[in-house]
Amino acid sequence: MSDKSILITGCSSGIGYQVAHDLHRDGWQVMATCRAQADVDRLTKEGLTSFRLDYSDPSSVSEGAARALDNTGGRLFALFNNGAFAIPGAVEDLPGDALREVFEVNVFGQFDLIRAVLPAMRRSGRGRIINNSSFLGFVAMPFRGSYVGSKFALEGLTHTLRQELRGTDIHVSLIQPGPVSSRIRENSAPHFKRWIDWKASAQRSVYEAHVLPWLEADETAPVRFQRPPSAVTPKLRHALTARKPRARYFVTPVPWIVDTLRRVLPARQMDYILSRR
């Protein structure tokens, strides 16, 4: 079973929840982690092996890695770094502590976890490290600065790690989903309320016209090009099982479209397209 063992983070809902159940049905030894104990208890009742892992808590990361390695006899095959969060807001309105909090979860905690399991993969002589990114890991959009910055950093470190592991049987991939149905608005709202003083912002009118309505919108309403979380599973399966997995996997049409446009259009035209509301 250690050849089909995987540690997945951020499994309380969305992509993490879906792929954990899908791989479990495929016969994988899945360790589906969550930040909140209530979600761990729920997943355990659903038949998954689940325990707490909170990227923002270094002791939780090290304990989660140790538990995954113990469960696999020190031969964990794969890690899927999926957990992340965002604080919507203009860059000029993001306090430094808010940015640090986003980077702690979306970047530092994820690479703490990678560093904790990588020595065991080296001893085993094989492994897969897959990081969940976004098309916002290679282009920017307004009022998403904290998320964009963290995903750019995640992608830079992921590409570098892949190059550094060249010649080994430890493969590193990125998944870039695009719009996938999730609870991102619901999960972003408390962070926005905590950190962003939009009423005092020079961009207050933009918050009122666009950001607040987005946060309050019905997440069940259809979005153009949106796919369900299950669309990620085939890409993840390929990254886990292919002899030569790809460096990056696009899931929905949006990453394909944006990647093509950025290669052919000047930056100012891309800014115009990506800034349209």
pLDDT of 224 reads 81
Cβ-based neighbour number of residue 170 at 10 Å: 19
pLDDT of 176 reads 97
pLDDT of 2 reads 56
Which tokens in the block code for residue 226?
A: 């949106």
Q: Which of 17, 55, 147, 207 is catalytic?
A: 147
In angstroms, rounded to a whole number, what is the distance separating the alpha carbons of residues 242 and 247? 12
pLDDT of 186 reads 85
In angstroms, rounded to a whole number, what is the distance separating the alpha carbons of residues 33 and 63? 12
The domain segmentation of the chain, as residue ranges, is: 2-275
How far, CA to CA in Å, does 36 sit from each of 33, 40, 56, 62, 96?
A: 9, 7, 12, 16, 25
| Mean pLDDT, 10 residues at a time, the chain of 277 residues | 86 96 98 97 98 97 98 96 95 97 98 98 97 97 97 98 97 96 86 97 96 84 85 98 97 96 96 88
Question: Does domain 2-275 correspond to CATH entry 1.10.3720.10?
Answer: no
Residue 249 bears catalytic tag: no
pLDDT of 277 reads 66
pLDDT of 1 reads 45
